Amino acid sequence: MEHHDKSFMGYEPGSTDCRLLIDAKHHLEEALLTLYAMPHTDHIQRQLKAVYRQLEGMHDLKRAGGSQVSLQSADWYSESTKS
């Protein structure tokens, strides 16, 4: 019998692209937590938060485009922003 309790499952990304983006955002969160304890790092924290927002935007594009959007190709940006 399979156990489907969410507390044991963690998160399950919908694609490799989503997994990579989630991992990258997680690492930025860890870096930010470390920097919060260090004085004079406000400018670095702002830069990391900006990168985090960019990754979140990429993740939004991927979620909206699904399998039509592959972030692993060199031209993902131009292809995903065409109208």
User: What pLDDT digit, counting tens, does each position of 33-63 carry?
Assistant: 999 999 999 999 999 999 999 999 999 988 8
Give the per-residue pLDDT at 83: 46
* Residue 58, CA atoms < 13 Å, CB-side half-sphere: 20
- Asked if pLDDT for residue 75 goes beyond 90, the answer is no
Q: Where are the domains of the chain?
A: 13-63
What distance in Å separates the CA atoms of residue 13 and residue 21, rounded to the nearest whole number? Answer: 9
Higher pLDDT, 72 or 57: 57
If one counts every other C-beta atom within 10 angstroms of the C-beta of residue 81, the result is 8
Amino acid at 55: L
Tokens of 66: 């699904």
Q: What is the pTM of this model?
A: 0.70
| DSSP-based three-state secondary structure for 33 | helix
Average pLDDT over residues 12-35: 90
